[in-house]
Amino acid sequence: MNSAVIVFPGSNCDRDMAVAIEQVTGKAPKMVWHRETSLPDGIDFIAVPGGFSYGDYLRCGAIAARSPIVAAVKQAAERGVRVLGVCNGFQVLTEAGMLPGALMRNATLDFICRDVALTVTNSDSDFTRLYAAGEQVNFPVAHHDGNFNADTETLDRLEGEGRVAFRYTTAINGSARDIAGILNDKRNVLGMMPHPERMVEPAHGGNDGRRLFESVLAAL
């Protein structure tokens, strides 16, 4: 699998993401700087990692979404390339219009950093095919602006079309309907606040995140 990890000023989970991808696929991803205008040839999978792109000035992800490389990521997604946005990466994808809704300040106004339980809501995607529908998994979260919200029509559409991939088992940050991760309409773009790349080997305290990357690899 040929993969790429997008790197912005302020990204701090890019190396975690790269290590997870290499552990699962056996091949290191290309690290692509935000000022690049194109992706390497033959990329099958793109990861937009967590962190604090541009220091989270304006809205989280708003400046990064206008970086030159994001236009190339959008074009790749339109061609069917799988794109994963985690934490700040999820924020970037919503700001870029690749996913609906917005990530707002946590309802508690606190930074949340701990492992959380999730329910796999949709196991019929290239990101979740190796999970069972309804299965409970544990991923870490580390965010201050992870409160997913959208208007009722959009939320109903996400639910009705089976595009909610993960849901918090208990209220964490105020997210509407406890949504933790969503898919685009083509199901080749996934945005999620929890960090699967931080749960890929037993030394991390569990390996529930590993199957997400294995799912993408299996799909390819």
Q: What is the pLDDT of residues 126-145, one digit of tens each?
A: 999 999 999 999 999 999 99
State residue 54's pLDDT score.
Answer: 86
Exposure string for 157-194, b = 16+ CB within 10 A, e = fewer: ebeeeebbbbbbeeebbbbbebbbbbbbeebbbbbbbb
87 as an active site residue: the answer is yes
State residue 211's pLDDT score.
Answer: 97
**What pairing do the DSSP bridges indicate for beta strands 164-168 and 30-33?**
unpaired
Nearest-10 crossing angle of helices 14-25, 210-219: 60
Neighbours of 117 (CB within 10 A): 15
144 as an active site residue: the answer is no
- Out of 34, 143, 195, 204, which one is annotated catalytic? 195
Owner of token pair 């590993």 = 210
- Out of 13, 87, 95, 143, which one is annotated catalytic? 87
pTM of this structure: 0.96
- Out of 13, 95, 144, 197, which one is annotated catalytic? 197
Domains of the chain (ranges, CATH numbers): 3-219 (3.40.50.880)
State residue 56's pLDDT score.
Answer: 80
13 as an active site residue: the answer is no
Give pLDDT < 50 ranges for the chain: none
Q: What is the pLDDT of residues 167-206, one digit of tens each?
A: 999 999 999 999 999 999 999 999 999 999 999 999 989 9
